Amino acid sequence: MIVRVAVPADVTAASRREPPGAEPALGHGARRRAGEATYLVAREDDEVIGGVLVARGELRHLRVDSRARGRGVGTALIAAAEDLLREQGHDHATLGVDLGNHRARALYLRLGYVATGRTETVSYTYVADDGTRRRATETNEELCKNLR
């Protein structure tokens, strides 16, 4: 497995794994091209198996393909994102995790992130695996890690 800054072919490959009508990878690629963020991807055997968006000291939209979970992909993406943030001069990394996403929260805590006590409830529309648009509301907890 390799983790790298996404190139256009990575964005295209990642978007093919998304449900019909969902375009997070394309949106991440557009933010990268606009200089607003860096999109990192994990690749294995010529497939994109995960990605994370890094912007202004924050890790966002960490995603690992369901078939690749439990194999260190998320850990590798987070480590690469933290390295990038250090290179950019950031002292801390922050991220948000849904209070109901116990597996992700456990990963972040294991990697040294701590709860800040801040939460935010957000509502959004997403495209489900079957291609239907759905509305969701979740409460995210902010976690932070000292990078120095």
pLDDT in tens, 71-98: 999 999 999 999 999 999 999 999 999 9
pLDDT in tens, 89-145: 999 999 999 999 999 999 999 999 999 999 999 998 888 878 888 899 999 999 999
Mean pLDDT confidence for 11-17: 80
- Which tokens hold the place of 127? 């495209």
Residues near 108 by Cβ (< 8 Å), separated by ≥ 6? Answer: 78, 95, 97, 143
Please state, in angstroms and rounded to a whole number, the distance separating the CA atoms of residues 101 and 59: 16
Closest Cα to residue 74, out of 63, 86, 90? Answer: 63
Closest Cα to residue 128, out of 26, 21, 14? Answer: 21
Given the structure tokens 């000292």, which residue do they identify?
146
